[in-house]
Amino acid sequence: MTTVTLVYPYFKPRVDTSIFRFPPLGLGYIAAYLKQHDISVEIVDCTFLNQKQALKKIIDSKPRIIGIQSMYSMRNKSLELARLLRGHCELLIAGGALPTTEPEVFLKDFDVAVIGEGEQTMLELVNQFVNGGDFSQIKGIVYKDKDTSQVKRTSPRGFVHDLDRLPPPARDLFDNYSYKKYFSGRFGYKTSAIMTSRGCPFACDFCSRPVFGDEFRARSASKVADEIEEVISLGYNRIWFADDCFTLNRKQLIEVCDEIIKRGLKIGWECLSRVDTLDSETADKMKQAGCVRMFFGIESGNDSILKIMNKHITTKQAYIATQLCKKKGIKAGAFFILGYPGENDQTILSTVKFASSLPLDYLSFTLPYPIPGTPLFERLSGELLSEEWEEPKNIQMIKHKLLFDSQVSEFKLKFAVIKGMIQFYSRKYMGEKGYAFIGRPIEAVTDAVYGQIK
C-alpha cells in the first residue's frame, strides 16, 4: 500500500509535435520531500497514458491519499478524476495553480486544496491525516471540516526562501523512458526539465503566478549542476530550464554557467528569457555553457499593445535581443498573442509582420487566454464565453479557442495566425531574397484578404 499517489492529469493529443513536454517537476519536488521524511509515494503522470490506463495505475498503487495537480487547462480532467477515484482512497487533495486561485471550486470533489508551494504543506497534511489529527493548524490550505462540512481557510504559508534545503525532484518516479522516446523520435534529442529559481517580480497583464509568487528565489549553482549531472546520468542530452525567466538574475545565471563550464558538463540547454535581460557578455557566457536556444515572450509587435499587456518591453528591445542571439549563434524562439483586448486590425497585422520578420528558429502565435487570478481575467469577467481552455484531443490545424466576446472574430484571428506562420516559414526557408520575390506578394494579398474578413 502506498501512502500518497500524486497525479499529473495531462493527456496529450493523438497528434502531438510539441517541444514542451516535460515531467511534472512540482510533483517531483513534493514526492522527493515526502520520501525524505520516510513517506511512501508514487507519481502517475498521465501524459503517455489513456484515462483507463491512468486510473488502473492509480488504483493499483493502493493509495491512502491521492493528490492531483491542476492548472488552467486541466480543470475538468482533474475534477473528473477526483470523482472517479473517490472510492479508492481516504483523502483527496488538489494542488497547483488553479486550486491556489479558486480553491472553493475544487472542494466539491476534493477534501483539501493546497494553496501555493506544496512541499511542507503536503508533509504536514499527510502526517496529520495518518495520526488522526485535524487540519486547522496547517498553514496554506482550504478544506472541508469533516464534522460540519463547512469550508475553512487556514492562514497563508510563506514561500520557501532557501531552495537548497529542498531535495531535487524524485526523477526515479518520472516516466523517463517515455519522455526520452518522445523527444528522440520527434526531434533527435532527449530533454528533461530543471528549475533553478522560483518567482517572477514582473506583473504581465495575462500572467498567473499563484504558486511561486513575485519573490525571486534562486538555488545555488552547485545544486543546479548536481541535478544536471543526475539528468545526464539518466540518459538525457538536453535540458529545459523551466524558470519563469532564466536570465532574470544575471549574477545567478553567470554562476550557473560557470559551474557547468567548470565541471565540463557537455549538454545542450534551452530557457525562457526576457528581451530586456540579455546583453552581449551574458549571451557569450550562455553559449559557452551550452545554450542552444532561448525563448522570448515578446507577445506583441506594437508598443501600445505591449503597454496594455504591462510587459515593460519595447519592440526595439525585442529586435535587438533576437539579433544578438543570431550573432552569437544561439537559436531564438518567440511567443506572440493575437487579438488582445484593445487590439484592432492594424495592431494585429503589425504583430504578424514584426514577428515573421525576426530571425527566429521557433515562432508561436496564440489567442489571449484569461486565466483566473490575472488582471486580464478580471477585466473580461463579464465578457467570458468560457472560463477554460483545453488542448483539443483530435487533429486540428490551429489549437486555439476564443474565450471571450471580442471585437475581432475567432475566424479572423485564426486567419492571422496562418498568415503569420506562412510568412515566417517562407522567410526562414527562402531567405530574404526569396521572400522578396514570393513571400512579399503573398503578404500583400493576405493583408488585403484579412481586411475583408468579418
pLDDT digits (tens, 9 = 90+) for 384-412: 666 555 555 444 445 667 777 778 888 99
Say what the pLDDT of residue 399 is. Answer: 62
> Of the ranges 138-142, 226-230, 438-442, which one carries the lowest mean pLDDT score?
438-442
Q: What angle do CA 424, 427, 431 make, to 5 degrees?
A: 160
Say what the pLDDT of residue 398 is. Answer: 58
Give dist(CA 379, CA 318) in Å, integer.
27
Give dist(CA 248, CA 74) in Å, integer.
28
Question: Would you say 96 and 75 are in contact if contact means Cβ atoms under 8 Å apart?
Answer: no
What mean pLDDT do residues 219-230 have? 98
Give dist(CA 243, CA 199) in Å, integer.
8
Locus of grid cell 497534511: 125
Say what the pLDDT of residue 391 is. Answer: 55
Give dist(CA 166, CA 160) in Å, integer.
9
Distance of alpha carbon 286 from the chain centroid: 22
Residues with Cβ within 8 Å of 225's Cβ and at least 6 positions away in sequence, in order, are 256, 259, 260, 263, 265
Amino acid letter, 328: K
Average pLDDT over the chain, rounded to an integer: 93
Say what the pLDDT of residue 14 is. Answer: 77
Residue with more model confidence, 61 or 454:
61
Residue 207, helix vs strand vs coil? coil
Q: Which of 54-58, 366-370, 435-439, 443-447 has the highest mean pLDDT?
A: 54-58
pLDDT at 302 over 80: yes
> Of the ranges 77-81, 84-88, 144-148, which one carries the lowest mean pLDDT score?
144-148
Question: Would you say 100 and 143 are in contact if contact means Cβ atoms under 8 Å apart?
Answer: no
pLDDT at 99 over 60: yes
Say what the pLDDT of residue 395 is. Answer: 43
Question: Pick from 191, 195, 193, 175: which is nearest to 183 by CA?
Answer: 191
What mean pLDDT do residues 27-45 have? 98
Q: What angle do CA 104, 59, 390 make, to 5 degrees?
A: 50
Say what the pLDDT of residue 396 is. Answer: 47
Say what the pLDDT of residue 384 is. Answer: 66
pLDDT band at 381 (very low <50, low <70, confident <90, very high): confident
Q: What pTM value is reported for the model?
A: 0.93
pLDDT at 146 over 90: no
CA distances to 194, 270, 348 from 242, in Å? 6, 9, 29
CA torsion sign, 297 to 302 to 306 to 308? Answer: negative
Say what the pLDDT of residue 339 is. Answer: 94
pLDDT band at 373 (very low <50, low <70, confident <90, very high): confident
pLDDT band at 172 (very low <50, low <70, confident <90, very high): very high
Q: Which domains does the chain have, with CATH numbers?
A: 2-153 (3.40.50.280), 179-452 (3.20.20.70)
CA distances to 120, 139, 342, 427 from 8, in Å? 19, 23, 36, 39
Question: Pick from 338, 353, 351: which is nearest to 408 by CA?
Answer: 338
